[in-house]
Each structure stands twice: as structure tokens, then as C-alpha cells.
Structure 1
Amino acid sequence: MSSGVTVNPDSVAQFQDLKLKKKHKYIIFGLNEDKTEIIVLKSSTSKDYEEFLVDLPENQCRWAVYDLEFLKEEGGLRNKIIFYHWSPEGAKIKDKMVAASSREALRRALVGIAVEIQGTEDSEVALETVLEKAKRGN
């Protein structure tokens, strides 16, 4: 099901900057005021994962991409782009429905995602949980 929500071209451009030019560490996406377009709400160069988590509100849905850097078991650094669908328990039902039905439009527009995380509570987006999923995909 599609909600008819479109992805703002700037959202894709900023994602390309994260993926190809490493200009951002993470990007937070949300809906514009009239809920017709997915826009960038924030981009950051902070490498502090806790700071990223603070940008996921406890009562509003968001999507995000995070350029995760981690050590491979055999040594060496690896990067994977993680896509988050954040739909917390405290969000309004209608917002959750619009976010769920709009997710695919954003996901299709962002080419190069390695891992997807569906989060409804903090433990599902905790660094340990995300690292485990990212490493499993190696």
C-alpha cells in the first residue's frame, strides 16, 4: 500500500552525499507539515551514536539512515548504511499508518542500503543490536 507521499529530491541528494561523499554520518527524515512529502529534518556529522538516538523522538515516527563503521571479525574497518523505520509505541496510530505506508517510497529512493532496522523502542535501535545485524550481513 502506498500513501501517495513523495520523496523530496533534496532527501535523495543528501543521502547521496552521505553514501558517496561521506558528508553526513546520519540523516533523519520525516513528513512535511501537510504530510505529502518526505523531507530531511536533520543531517549530522556527529559520530556519537547516542546523539543520533536522541534525534529519534519518543512519540513521533521517523526514518533515518546511519553510516555505521565497525570492525570486522577478521580485522579491518567496514561501513554499512543502515536504514531505520522508527515507529515508537507513543506515536499516534494515524502517524504510524502513514509512516508505514510511506516507508517503501523512501526505501526505494535510497539505493545502497545494507541493513534495515524496524524500531518501536530503544532496545531495537541500540548500538549493540544494530551492530549485530550489520555484522550478520557480512
Structure 2
Amino acid sequence: MSSGVIASPECLQRFGELKMSKSLKYILFKLNDKRTEIVVDKTSDNSDYEEFLGNLPSDGCKWAVYDFSYTSDDGSPRNKLCFLSWSPDNAPIRAKMVHASSKDALRKSLEGIGAEIQGTDLTEVAYETVLEKVKRFSR
């Protein structure tokens, strides 16, 4: 089910920057105040994963694309673009419903995503958890 929400052109522009020029490490997206459009909330070139996690609200929903760096089992450095859908348990029910029904408006416009992560608490988006999922997607 779709909510009728659309992704703003800036979402695709910033995603292109992250994907092609590698000038960004992550992008956070949110619904605008009218809940009619997905907009860019924050971008960063900081590769500190813990700092990224600190930007996920404990009581609100966000989406993110993170350029996840890791070392493969054979020892070579790898990157995987991860799409995260963050909907914590204590976010308002209505916000979670709109968030879930609006996800595809953003996700389907982002080509080149290597892994998709759903998070309702920090354990589901912790570095080691995401690393395990990313490696599974790489096989």
C-alpha cells in the first residue's frame, strides 16, 4: 500500500553524490511536516558509524542510505550501499504507519542499493548486525 508521498528531487541528487562521487558517507531522509514529500534531513561525510547511529531518533522514523565499508572474508576492502528503514518501537503508531507505507516512494528511486536493513532498535542496526547482513547479500 502506498501513501501517495513522493521523494523530493533533492533526495535523488544527494543520493547521486553519495553513490558516484563518494563525497558523502550517509544521507538521512524524513517526511516533511505536511507528510506529503520525503526530504533530505541530513548529510555527512563522516565515516564514524556510531555518529551515524546517534542521528537516529529514539522516538521518530527516518530512512537512510549509508555507504558501508567493511573487509570481506578474503581480506579485501569492500563497500555496500545500505538502505535503512528506521522505525523505533516507541515512535507514534501513525508515524510508523505513514513511514512504512511511504518507504517504496524513496526506495524504488534509489538504484544501486546493495542491502536493505529494517531497524526498530539499535541492536538491529548495530555495526556487527549490519556487517553480517551485508556479507550475506554479497554471497
TM-score w.r.t. structure 2 length? Answer: 0.98
- Note the alpha carbon deviations across 1:50-95, whole angstroms, 9 max, x for none: 0000110000000000000111111211110000000001100000
Tell me the secondary structure at the aligned position of residue 42 of structure 2. Answer: strand
Separation (CA, whole Å) in 2 of partners of 1:11 and 1:55: 18
Q: Which runs of 5+ in 2 are unaligned?
A: none
| Equivalent position amino acid for 1:25 in 2 | K
Q: After TM superposition, give the deviation of residue 136 of structure 1 in Å.
A: 1.1
Q: After TM superposition, give the deviation of residue 137 of structure 1 in Å.
A: 1.5
Q: Is residue 116 from structure 1 mapped to residue 116 from structure 2 by the alignment?
A: yes
In structure 1, what is the equivalent of residue 62 of structure 2? 62
Q: Is residue 127 from structure 1 mapped to residue 127 from structure 2 by the alignment?
A: yes
- Note the alpha carbon deviations across 1:16-60, whole angstroms, 9 max, x for none: 100111011000000111110000000000110000001100000
Tell me the secondary structure at the aligned position of residue 108 of structure 2. Answer: helix
Q: Is residue 26 from structure 1 mapped to residue 41 from structure 2 by the alignment?
A: no
In structure 1, what is the equivalent of residue 17 of structure 2? 17
Provide runs of 4+ in structure 1 moved above 4 Å: none
Tell me the secondary structure at the aligned position of residue 109 of structure 1. Answer: coil
Q: How many residues align?
A: 138
| Equivalent position amino acid for 1:91 in 2 | A
Percent same amino acid at aligned positions? 54
In structure 1, what is the equivalent of residue 104 of structure 2? 104
TM-score w.r.t. structure 1 length? Answer: 0.99
Task: Say what the alpha-carbon RMSD is for the aligned residues.
Answer: 0.5
